[in-house]
Structure 1
Amino acid sequence: MDILVSIFSTLGDQLQKPTLSFLIAGMVLAAMGSKFEVPEPVYKFIVILLLLKVGMGAGISIQSASLSALAVPAIGAAVVGIAIVFLGRWTLARAKGVPQVDGLATAGLFGAVSASTLAAGMAILDDGNVPYEGFIGALYPFMDIAALVTAIVMAKMAKARKLASSVNAGGTMTMGGTGGAGPAVPQGLLKDILIDTVRSPAISALLAGLALGVFADPKSVYDSFYEPLFRGLLSILMLIMGMEAWSRLSELRKVAHAYLIYGLAAPFLHGALGFAAGYVAHVTTGFSAGGVVLLAVMAASSSDISGPPTLRGALPEANPSAYVGTSTGIGTPIAILSIPLWIAIAEALIGW
């Protein structure tokens, strides 16, 4: 009973923190029909600065981190990203009224990582003076790329099997060489997906910051420019995302109700998977409680930057109203609002 009281008390306290307050304020503005608007170039500039900051901070910390301390949570992040996509395939992609490619695209987006949600989690922990590993940002691409690649490959394979079945039914099957295992993945597909993902603005900025942090000495500009701007820029981003989330809700009327259920439940289930992976790392390597929280936050989040353009380019037949609407309209605000839950559970089970 004391654990539950502690969790609810922490939840109440965290909802008043600036990061979550700005998200809720954005949703309220949109609900009131406000004309408040931040230009798209400004939004992109803010996101790039935040990702460079997260990447550089991770790179600077990697210089002094041991390989084992980084490897275990990194492997856990990749496994969780892949597991989320498979879970989506077994649930959402099989739901009535949900095309398989749309279900897999949505699962891929939920398996990938939201940079803004990760940044929000870091800010909330910083505000509470909760320590976490500086290299945590380096785990982002492990989960993000693993989920996107898995979702796209599975969708391509499903499409190839469907095409093969229709051709076979017509008696003109020409895609030999697959035996009874179904069509093989087209040659070079995996390579193309990896290249497209790495070249996406979000991953490119994150990896650039990571490389600078590891191989250069950017600490002076990091401390004097990126760190002081971080919370202010994040508050603007949360305001934008709150408004965007509210506006995206209307898009879900065009798709099956299964997306609504998935969008509400997935952040909690996926976050629990991330928390479990982080807890394993905590037990085996001493991964901090703050690190466990952030791994749960990454798993609970759904990509709002790198994922949509990657999926749009790789799966043009998928419906953006389904995967973007579910992610931005429901998944992102739920994931951000769930951050206090992971903090409360970590405090109750692990302690700071």
Structure 2
Amino acid sequence: MDFLSLFVMDFVKQLQSPTLSFLIGGMVIAALGSELQIPESICKIIVFMLLTKIGLTGGIAIRNSNLTEMVLPVLFSVALGILIVFIARYTLAKLPKVKTVDAIATGGLFGAVSGSTMAAALTLLEEQNIQYEAWAGALYPFMDIPALVTAIVIANIYLKKKKHSAADEYLSKQEYLEKQPVAAGDYPDQQDYPSTRQEYLSKQQSADNRVKIWPIVEESLRGPALSAMLLGLALGLFTRPESVYKSFYDPAFRGLLSILMLVMGMEAWSRIGELRKVAQWYVVYSLVAPLLHGFIAFGLGMIAHYATGFSLGGVVVLSVIAASSSDISGPPTLRAGIPSANPSAYIGASTAIGTPVAIGLAIPLFLGLAQAIGGS
């Protein structure tokens, strides 16, 4: 009973934290019809500074730490990014009125990482004086890139199989027609009709359309979110940025994060309308998936905790990035990699519901769970 009461008290306390309060405040003023707007250029600068700060923190920590401690969390991050896509492929895609390619894209976005959600989690850990590895933020790309690559590859494989099935059906019809008596002129040019599956496919695939993985990785790395964080990581690892870090990036971090949370709250409310365009199952998935992914990550994190001494704060970070869904680099990557997928489905599910669930529910939930385990 003491365990449950402490857990609930911590949960409520964290919901009242400045970070989560600004997110809720943004949703409230948007619901009330406020015309408040934060210019997109300012949001981009804020995101750049937040992720650069996280990268600097990770780079400085990696430079001063034992790299072997990172191996298991890194492997778990990669595995989680891939697993989350397959979960969507074999759960969401099987539900009524859900298109498979849209479900795969949704899984890719939920498998990728939200830098702002991770920043919110790191802030709350510091507010609660919970220790975590400073390099934990560097797990971001190890989950983000595999998720996006996996989603695009699986979607393209699915679309090709679908295309090949259509080819088989077409050839079956042609074989049937060829056995039927035809009048002169019905088929003026028999060379226009393929006689074999291989011939049909060779005509349909005039260019090599194999799924190329490296362009996907390259596009992800060049995205604004990962670029900013990897830049900070490299600077922290190979230079000595401690002075500018302590005088500028660290003090400004929480204030900038509060503004970003306000913007995300307003955007989340505005995106709710997009979900009306797609199956209602996306709402169910968006409510359940972040917590499911987070619990899987929490279990893997506890394995790393007992096996290598990975801190409970690090377990929370791993759980939160698994529960998050990409809100910056993921959408444009998926738009380019899976152009046939419906953005209203995967972006609406992520921004309108997935992100508020990850920030407002998953962060305090896993933080409270870690505190309960640590205090037991």
TM-score band, normalised by shorter chain? over 0.9
Judge conservation of contact 1:164–1:175 (CA < 8 Å) in 2.
no
Query: 1:228 — aligned with what?
Result: 251
Judge conservation of contact 1:78–1:146 (CA < 8 Å) in 2.
yes
1:333 aligns with 2:353: no
Judge conservation of contact 2:31–2:269 (CA < 8 Å) in 1.
yes
1:346 aligns with 2:370: yes
Aligned residues: 345
Query: 2:224 — aligned with what?
Result: 201
Q: Given residue 298 of structure 1, which amino acid in structure 2 is its aligned partner?
A: I
Query: 2:198 — aligned with what?
Result: 174
Q: Given residue 49 of structure 1, which amino acid in structure 2 is its aligned partner?
A: M
Judge conservation of contact 2:125–2:131 (CA < 8 Å) in 1.
yes
Judge conservation of contact 1:80–1:277 (CA < 8 Å) in 2.
no
- Please give the secondary structure, in 2, of the residue aligned with 1:253: helix
Deviations 1:134-173 (A, max 9, x none): 0011100000011111111000100011011111221252
CA distance in 1, matches of 2:130, 2:73: 18
1:263-274 paired onto structure 2 within 5 Å: 263-274=286-297
Query: 1:150 — aligned with what?
Result: 150
Kindly state the Cα deviation for residue 351 of structure 1 after the two structures are TM-superposed: 3.8
CA distance in 2, matches of 1:303, 1:18: 22
CA distance in 1, matches of 2:326, 2:3: 32
Kindly state the Cα deviation for residue 93 of structure 1 after the two structures are TM-superposed: 1.4
- Please give the secondary structure, in 1, of the residue aligned with 2:198: coil
Kindly state the Cα deviation for residue 123 of structure 1 after the two structures are TM-superposed: 0.5
Q: TM-score, normalised by structure 2?
A: 0.89
Query: 1:77 — aligned with what?
Result: 77
- Please give the secondary structure, in 2, of the residue aligned with 1:174: helix
Q: Given residue 63 of structure 2, which amino acid in structure 1 is its aligned partner?
A: Q
Query: 2:99 — aligned with what?
Result: 99
CA distance in 2, matches of 1:34, 1:332: 21
Judge conservation of contact 1:56–1:209 (CA < 8 Å) in 2.
yes
Q: Given residue 107 of structure 2, which amino acid in structure 1 is its aligned partner?
A: A
Judge conservation of contact 1:26–1:242 (CA < 8 Å) in 2.
yes
Structure 1 unaligned regions, length at least 5: 178-184
Deviations 1:250-271 (A, max 9, x none): 1100000110000010111011
Judge conservation of contact 2:7–2:369 (CA < 8 Å) in 1.
yes
Query: 2:264 — aligned with what?
Result: 241
1:1-352 paired onto structure 2 within 5 Å: 1-171=1-171, 172=194, 173-174=197-198, 186-187=209-210, 189-338=212-361, 339-351=363-375
Compared with structure 1, are the counterparts of its residues 176 and 351 closer, same or farther at alpha carbon in structure 2 (3 Å cutoff)? farther
CA distance in 2, matches of 1:228, 1:342: 26
CA distance in 2, matches of 1:64, 1:161: 49
Q: Given residue 278 of structure 1, which amino acid in structure 2 is its aligned partner?
A: G
Q: Given residue 231 of structure 1, which amino acid in structure 2 is its aligned partner?
A: R
Judge conservation of contact 1:289–1:351 (CA < 8 Å) in 2.
no
CA distance in 1, matches of 2:198, 2:113: 39
Q: TM-score, normalised by structure 1?
A: 0.95
CA distance in 1, matches of 2:147, 2:374: 28
Q: Given residue 79 of structure 2, which amino acid in structure 1 is its aligned partner?
A: V
Compared with structure 1, are the counterparts of its residues 283 and 31 closer, same or farther at alpha carbon in structure 2 (3 Å cutoff)? same
Kindly state the Cα deviation for residue 350 of structure 1 after the two structures are TM-superposed: 3.1
Q: Given residue 240 of structure 2, which amino acid in structure 1 is its aligned partner?
A: D
Judge conservation of contact 2:153–2:211 (CA < 8 Å) in 1.
no
Judge conservation of contact 1:121–1:297 (CA < 8 Å) in 2.
yes
Kindly state the Cα deviation for residue 187 of structure 1 after the two structures are TM-superposed: 3.9
Query: 2:175 — aligned with what?
Result: none
Kindly state the Cα deviation for residue 213 of structure 1 after the two structures are TM-superposed: 0.8
Identity of aligned residues (%): 54
Kindly state the Cα deviation for residue 276 of structure 1 after the two structures are TM-superposed: 1.1
Q: Given residue 323 of structure 2, which amino acid in structure 1 is its aligned partner?
A: A
CA distance in 2, matches of 1:99, 1:87: 15
Structure 2 unaligned regions, length at least 5: 172-193, 202-207
Runs (4+) of structure 1 exceeding 6 A deviation are: none
Higher deviation after alignment, 285-294 or 186-195: 186-195
Q: Given residue 86 of structure 1, which amino acid in structure 2 is its aligned partner?
A: F
CA distance in 2, matches of 1:210, 1:277: 25
CA distance in 1, matches of 2:235, 2:312: 27
Deviations 1:159-215 (A, max 9, x none): 0110111112212523899xxxxxxx9546111111111111111111111111111
Query: 1:181 — aligned with what?
Result: none
Larger Rg: 2
Judge conservation of contact 2:156–2:211 (CA < 8 Å) in 1.
no
Judge conservation of contact 1:30–1:246 (CA < 8 Å) in 2.
yes
Higher deviation after alignment, 291-300 or 2-11: 2-11
Higher deviation after alignment, 3-12 or 39-48: 3-12
Kindly state the Cα deviation for residue 2 of structure 1 after the two structures are TM-superposed: 2.2
Q: Given residue 19 of structure 2, which amino acid in structure 1 is its aligned partner?
A: T
CA distance in 1, matches of 2:14, 2:327: 23
Judge conservation of contact 2:57–2:233 (CA < 8 Å) in 1.
yes
Compared with structure 1, are the counterparts of its residues 224 and 100 closer, same or farther at alpha carbon in structure 2 (3 Å cutoff)? same
